[in-house]
């Protein structure tokens, strides 16, 4: 299970009534944060979430609206008496900027471990500091600087079949081990593999986050069947298309078309231009392209 909160929905600069785009995803009490612009630590407090639960921070790219809140957030985590290491992962080429920003942090009471993901090829990273069943997939996007999309993939255990376990004679105290994927040996020497007492594998829970990119065709493969697809949509006005191509962003309509192709379960639009004062005016039109499109507001939450 994952508790998700979209901390902010803005792009470019924080506004007095709109935080910058950032996603907080919590798995059994440990959290991943994607992006950390100026004010993200305030949004976390405002939406009733816990800085202290963050184990992994994923940075999409090194533009200030996605990364400038990092030093303040790291210091505030330090004030919450953390001592265990914290992981920050970002495109390889972005780590230097992350380190420059951290120069203002001085000595933190915990270790920051940085992980550089390849800028130009997809990569899969086991996020067991958050959950042993969680992995992170990356996809190189197309923006003015190296930028990665992220999919958080949480493996779901196959269903446990108690009738099978009883029929084989597995004592109840061994059921958990089997459900966790371990083989057990009974007192009479019988080896019972987990497949004997579990049903068909279930697809992973998938949250895909892509922002600051042209609407590449490949994104629909990356976001395929996502339970939640969080995607930028700077403007809802089709006449902004040319300007978006120049700035290497996309329209809300582009995001909806990708979500439809991807067969995503739901789309959360975000990263609105400061010039879009009320993005909700496009909601009805966008749902004609993709019925499960949501023009989110700061603090949107869902449990998956």
Active site amino acids: 65
Burial 24-33 (b: 16+ CB within 10 A, else e): bbbbeebbbb
276/89 Cα distance (integer angstroms):
31
Of the listed pieces 22-30, 72-80, 171-179, 199-207, which binds a copy of itself according to CB under 8 A? 72-80
Tokens of 103: 């120069």
Phi, psi angles (nearest 5°) of residue 151: -120, 125
Q: Are the C-beta atoms of residues 88 and 57 closer than 8 Å to each other?
A: yes
Residues of span 271-300 touching a copy of itself by CB under 8 A: none
DSSP per position, 103-115: GGG-S-SSPEEEE
Does residue 186 belong to the site contacting a copy of itself (CB under 8 A)? no
**CB count, 10 Å around CB of 53?**
19
Helix (H, G, I), strand (E, B) or coil at 209: strand
**CB count, 10 Å around CB of 68?**
19
Tokens of 66: 């996605």
Does residue 21 belong to the site contacting a copy of itself (CB under 8 A)? no
Does residue 97 belong to the site contacting a copy of itself (CB under 8 A)? yes
Q: Which of 5, 12, 95, 127 binds a copy of itself (CB under 8 A)?
A: 12
Taking the least distance from each CB to a copy of itself, the nearer of 69 and 215 is: 69
Q: Are the C-beta atoms of residues 39 and 8 closer than 8 Å to each other?
A: yes
Does residue 45 belong to the site contacting a copy of itself (CB under 8 A)? yes
What residues pair up with 241 in beta bridges, in sequence order? none
Name the nearest CA neighbour of 91 among 66, 58, 65, 54.
Answer: 58
Q: Which of 28, 52, 79, 124 binds a copy of itself (CB under 8 A)?
A: 79
Taking the least distance from each CB to a copy of itself, the nearer of 78 and 140 is: 78
Does residue 250 belong to the site contacting a copy of itself (CB under 8 A)? no
Does residue 42 belong to the site contacting a copy of itself (CB under 8 A)? yes
Q: What is the distance in angstroms between the CA of the first residue and the CA of the last residue of the chain? A: 6
Q: Which of 3, 30, 46, 157 binds a copy of itself (CB under 8 A)?
A: 46
Does residue 76 belong to the site contacting a copy of itself (CB under 8 A)? yes
Number of residues that bind a copy of itself (CB under 8 A): 32
Minimal distance, residue 277 CB to a copy of itself, in Å: 13
Does residue 11 belong to the site contacting a copy of itself (CB under 8 A)? no
Does residue 101 belong to the site contacting a copy of itself (CB under 8 A)? yes
Name the nearest CA neighbour of 114 among 138, 97, 90.
Answer: 90
Of the listed pieces 63-71, 158-166, 276-284, 290-298, which binds a copy of itself according to CB under 8 A? 63-71
Of the listed pieces 32-40, 156-164, 175-183, 220-228, which binds a copy of itself according to CB under 8 A? 32-40
Q: Which of 28, 52, 100, 183 binds a copy of itself (CB under 8 A)?
A: 100
Tokens of 267: 């789309």
Q: Which of 15, 129, 283, 304 binds a copy of itself (CB under 8 A)?
A: 15
What are the start-end ranges of the H helices in the chain? 40-46, 64-67, 70-79, 95-102, 162-168, 175-179, 218-222, 241-247, 252-262, 283-289
Minimal distance, residue 29 CB to a copy of itself, in Å: 22
Does residue 107 belong to the site contacting a copy of itself (CB under 8 A)? no
Question: Where along the sequence are the contacts to a copy of itself (CB under 8 A)?
Answer: 12-16, 37-39, 41-42, 45-46, 62-65, 67-69, 71-72, 75-76, 79, 96-97, 100-101, 103-106
């Amino acid at each position: 299970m994952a508790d998700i909160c979209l901390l902010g929905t803005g792009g470019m600069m924080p506004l007095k009534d709109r935080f910058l785009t950032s996603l907080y995803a919590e798995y059994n009490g440990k959290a991943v944060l994607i992006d950390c612009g100026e004010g993200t630590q305030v949004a976390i407090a405002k939406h009733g979430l816990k800085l202290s639960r963050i184990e992994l921070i994923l940075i999409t790219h090194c533009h200030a609206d996605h990364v400038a809140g990092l030093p303040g957030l790291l210091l505030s985590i330090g004030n919450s008496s953390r001592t265990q290491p914290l992981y920050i992962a970002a495109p390889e080429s972005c780590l230097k900027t992350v380190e420059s920003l951290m120069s203002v942090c001085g000595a933190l009471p915990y270790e920051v471990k940085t992980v550089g993901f390849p800028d130009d090829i997809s990569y899969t990273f086991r996020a067991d500091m958050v959950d042993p069943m969680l992995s992170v997939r990356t996809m190189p996007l197309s923006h003015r600087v190296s930028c990665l999309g992220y999919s958080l993939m949480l493996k779901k255990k196959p269903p446990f079949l108690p009738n099978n376990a009883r029929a084989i004679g597995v004592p109840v105290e061994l059921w958990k081990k089997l459900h966790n994927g371990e083989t057990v040996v009974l007192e009479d020497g019988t080896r019972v593999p987990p497949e004997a007492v579990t049903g068909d594998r279930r697809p992973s829970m998938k949250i895909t986050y892509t922002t600051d990119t042209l609407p590449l065709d490949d994104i629909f493969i990356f976001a395929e069947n996502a339970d939640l697809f969080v995607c930028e949509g700077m403007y809802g006005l089709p006449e902004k298309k040319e300007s978006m191509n120049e700035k290497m962003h996309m329209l809300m309509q582009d995001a909806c078309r990708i979500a439809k192709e991807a067969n995503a379960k739901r789309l959360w639009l975000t990263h609105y231009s400061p010039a879009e004062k009320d993005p909700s005016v496009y909601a009805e039109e966008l749902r004609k392209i993709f019925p499960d499109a949501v023009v989110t507001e700061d603090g949107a939450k869902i449990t998956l």
